[in-house]
Structure 1
């Protein structure tokens, strides 16, 4: 029989692909079943962002396509059965359940006969998912105010709201603040009887462990709750790598660096559990965001600083080259478009949206002391810039600074946006980085750095990251890092320092007492010394030379 099974497998591989319903129907089936993307992803062995891609314009292939088709077929059949049972009409079709499968017939989408257990496994997964679906009102975006706070799924401290079955803080700042709060006493500490007055019931005190317990609090959570939080994913990966290589730091670090991209995507999925925003991972992209050649570039200008002051004040000066820590990590906090970019022309800037914009930049008249906010650009005329660059120019043209005229906006590709889309992801990486620095853990430090830097660099047109295709995000995050560096140069200038050079995302050269302006250290809000050197001409020496020549 094993020989026939092998032949069946070969035949299945060359047979017609399983038919899938339309994109809208795929999502309708899942949402009607009250299933989250994470539940479906777990059953099929993919990531939630992959499921989102299947519902927005991308089709699965191979064995996973057959599994996905079987799942959708099973969900459609369940709705048909439920409708027929309620009406007493007997066996029906998917269209009888009020859902158009998009196949052109009244029947549910057909699935080819695929040998082996793959389809049967997907069918079993569909049964489990359907039976564990949350009650009405607990869908992906449902919010529930809790009468008694429960531990936040990310930080473990009390949260008053549950979203999609997860207790969590709706504001990332609240979550960050509670992480810094001192943890409660261990649950094993003996109770103090005098704390409860006689004859009065004890109030329920929410558990405030340092991390989520991982135990389910309902069917919707049991289906896809992980036993560990985001920070645990990083520490567990490092421990496993060191164990596998018997404590060899170099070998473990090399292994972790190779895994940085998929591990970053897994961490992103973990931090997106119960999120308030639905993200399209593979949207339609306008031509301006597409590379003209395989090694070429698209039309987006990121405003990378590459500036050196033309003239220094008279005299010789000690210049300090400052290194800005975690530039790309800090830049993850930026306004990112959630959905597909939509075109507009002749409209003023809308701060509730984000994307890329065709602008005519203003004239910059402060090149002698500060770099141009759009970077060094030789060609005049309009150019496509990202959201951070436009917001920086608008800010500098406002009444607070008045450093330039406002830019002229011609066209835009934007979508509804939020600044906190990657905030929990950023906080998890930042906390792991801070802990690694405090403990002298260079393995974790290099691993975390690779995770956020490669995450940013591969979300565009890259063969290394197929889970997320957002070149608009890549340009926006990079530009945010450049904008952050430019604002540090402005702060130095306003505080009386002489700005000598600004390069890339993390290099700022200044003259003067910089420690009175920037805190020194390795944290993401601090700077460290990269180099010191002497520049300029001694005033007396210069004067003497002129006298001799005269």
Structure 2
């Protein structure tokens, strides 16, 4: 290709973008066509969370915008045609029915004439799927041939929101290995002859007390299998070269983490708004600068040690960011409020005046080492930590003063299945000495957190508020471990970042040792302080 050809190609790519209807129309077209987000996302080659963003206020760009516009135009034309056809058919049917009724009335004996009028029962053709809705409002499609349930692997006769799954907990029986189980004798599978289509809804519990809801019993065998298959594929591609396979997996950790997130979000109650409106305080002030959120990162070293020489143990906190995925995350777009008391049902960022901290000699300040006085924007974990420390149990400081907030309704379990899938894969890798999986999983959760803000490496999820909250939760978790050590009689010497805690004393009676996320391991040991004899010598 010549330089001019390259320029022509570039000019061809620059032009008017395809027109898109308003966001609410996009969603309405998809729902009227009875298409799930997962179905449309698969067709366009994006994640369901990205599609949610397009239906909530964000617009795609480039080639994918053209494809999305083409889909919406097609749906609009098809639905308009179907509406006209249905109207014409209904008119013709009404005319035919009136003619038949008049004829029957004239020719039938009086005793055979119907005593009531009504519409005959409609029989669903056996060659087409039956669509209904479950109790949560999701589309339910009855399958001609059963498919493996996304939750347990057993054959399921229904597809909900685009995914084959059982509708009742009793039918969903996860296997120990997570592999699809063989169907009962006589039950056809997707590889055998087609089963008759069921034209009625299966029996299911009508009360919550008869069993957990469909969304509450999802197993993590599928997501864990996703991680295992990726590792096996990388090792096969690089012919068993551990270093090459690890490097390849770490390089693709971000898209793989997003794929894992989508897998763990199947059947979830809450829609994730992937690209909400963000207030200016969460936007970078300059291209390479930072926003206005203070994450309260610990960076503290004790000024004076207890008298004498001591052995200090530097403890490493395992999986700090992995544990921090369990935090209160706002579900929707942040809303502004002023002068209100803290609402534990919501989460976000808050402008506060922090309380005075009088324990710097033995414990770090919960808001980190901050030189500038006055109000500052902090995250939900930092605010909750300060409120906890000011409460009747600890009484270590006064309550912070809240001036204004940007919050939304929140849940602590939004990323819980995602976290558990990564944790289980990590635990198995440690048990089996699998360095490839261990490094892959670590890259997935660490890069997932670090790139959900303003990053060019993750375009599917833009939640700088989540990034700050998860990071702050990791810092708050480390601070609470320092408090636990202090309350148990250990001398806290240093607290740094998310995973570094130095203590003096018998730490094993306070913390469990190991490599699990609930345990700590020794990073280093060293001697600090001075002997009394040395002090006496200096005095002489």
Q: Which of the five TM-score ranges fits, normalised by the shorter chain?
A: 0.7 to 0.9
| 2:50 pairs with 1:57 | no
Query: Using a 3 Å threshold, how does the CA distance of structure 1 residues 352 and 491 change in structure 2: closer, same or farther?
Result: same
Give the match for residue 386 of structure 2: 393
1:447 maps to which of 433, 440, 445 = 440
| 2:132 pairs with 1:135 | yes
Alpha carbons 1:260, 1:447 under 8 Å: kept: yes
Note the 1:179-190 alignment, pairs <5 A. Answer: none
With normalisation by structure 1, the TM-score equals 0.76
| 2:280 pairs with 1:287 | yes
**Residues of 1 paired with 2:401 and 2:421: CA distance?**
38
| 2:418 pairs with 1:425 | yes
The alpha carbon displacement at 1:206 in A equals: 4.1
Query: Using a 3 Å threshold, how does the CA distance of structure 1 residues 354 and 70 change in structure 2: closer, same or farther?
Result: same
**Residues of 2 paired with 1:405 and 1:287: CA distance?**
29
The alpha carbon displacement at 1:10 in A equals: 10
Query: Using a 3 Å threshold, how does the CA distance of structure 1 residues 358 and 418 change in structure 2: closer, same or farther?
Result: same
Q: How many residue pairs align between the two structures?
A: 458
**Residues of 2 paired with 1:347 and 1:491: CA distance?**
31
Alpha carbons 2:482, 2:495 under 8 Å: kept: yes
The alpha carbon displacement at 1:208 in A equals: 3.1
**Residues of 2 paired with 1:79 and 1:303: CA distance?**
53
Deviations 1:130-181 (A, max 9, x none): x8795234777689xxxxxx99845779xxxx975675999xxxx9xxxxxx
Unaligned runs of 5+ in 2: 1-8, 92-127, 141-146, 182-188, 199-213
**Residues of 1 paired with 2:172 and 2:376: CA distance?**
57
**Residues of 2 paired with 1:468 and 1:289: CA distance?**
15
| 2:463 pairs with 1:484 | no
The alpha carbon displacement at 1:61 in A equals: 2.8
Query: Using a 3 Å threshold, how does the CA distance of structure 1 residues 10 and 326 change in structure 2: closer, same or farther?
Result: closer
Give the secondary-structure state (helix, strand or coil) at the position aligned to 1:318.
strand
**Residues of 1 paired with 2:31 and 2:270: CA distance?**
15
Deviations 1:91-146 (A, max 9, x none): 9xxxxxxxxxxxxxxxxxxxxxxxxxxxxxxxxxxxxxxx8795234777689xxx
Alpha carbons 1:166, 1:274 under 8 Å: kept: no
Give the match for residue 261 of structure 1: 254
Give the match for residue 47 of structure 2: 47
The alpha carbon displacement at 1:204 in A equals: 8.0
| 2:239 pairs with 1:241 | no
Query: Using a 3 Å threshold, how does the CA distance of structure 1 residues 151 and 510 change in structure 2: closer, same or farther?
Result: farther
Unaligned runs of 5+ in 1: 1-8, 92-130, 144-149, 176-202
Alpha carbons 1:271, 1:425 under 8 Å: kept: yes
Give the match for residue 106 of structure 2: none
Note the 1:47-446 alignment, pairs <5 A. Answer: 47-88=47-88, 134-137=131-134, 153-154=150-151, 164=161, 206=173, 208-211=175-178, 213=180, 229-446=222-439
Give the match for residue 529 of structure 1: 522
Give the secondary-structure state (helix, strand or coil) at the position aligned to 2:459.
coil
**Residues of 2 paired with 1:433 and 1:168: CA distance?**
29
Query: Using a 3 Å threshold, how does the CA distance of structure 1 residues 356 and 20 change in structure 2: closer, same or farther?
Result: same
The alpha carbon displacement at 1:435 in A equals: 0.6
Alpha carbons 1:84, 1:90 under 8 Å: kept: no
Alpha carbons 2:273, 2:332 under 8 Å: kept: yes
Alpha carbons 1:522, 1:528 under 8 Å: kept: yes
Give the match for residue 21 of structure 1: 21
Deviations 1:309-331 (A, max 9, x none): 11111111000000000000000
Query: Using a 3 Å threshold, how does the CA distance of structure 1 residues 207 and 375 change in structure 2: closer, same or farther?
Result: closer
Give the match for residue 208 of structure 2: none
Give the match for residue 112 of structure 1: none
Deviations 1:363-392 (A, max 9, x none): 111111110000000110000000000000
Runs of 4+, deviation exceeding 6 Å: 9-12, 214-219
Query: Using a 3 Å threshold, how does the CA distance of structure 1 residues 367 and 167 change in structure 2: closer, same or farther?
Result: farther
**Residues of 2 paired with 1:132 and 1:486: CA distance?**
56
Query: Using a 3 Å threshold, how does the CA distance of structure 1 residues 538 and 154 change in structure 2: closer, same or farther?
Result: farther
**Residues of 2 paired with 1:408 and 1:474: CA distance?**
24
With normalisation by structure 2, the TM-score equals 0.78
**Residues of 1 paired with 2:78 and 2:136: CA distance?**
18
Query: Using a 3 Å threshold, how does the CA distance of structure 1 residues 204 and 258 change in structure 2: closer, same or farther?
Result: closer
Larger radius of gyration: 2
Deviations 1:244-266 (A, max 9, x none): 11111111111111111111111
Give the secondary-structure state (helix, strand or coil) at the position aligned to 1:88.
helix
**Residues of 1 paired with 2:171 and 2:401: CA distance?**
58
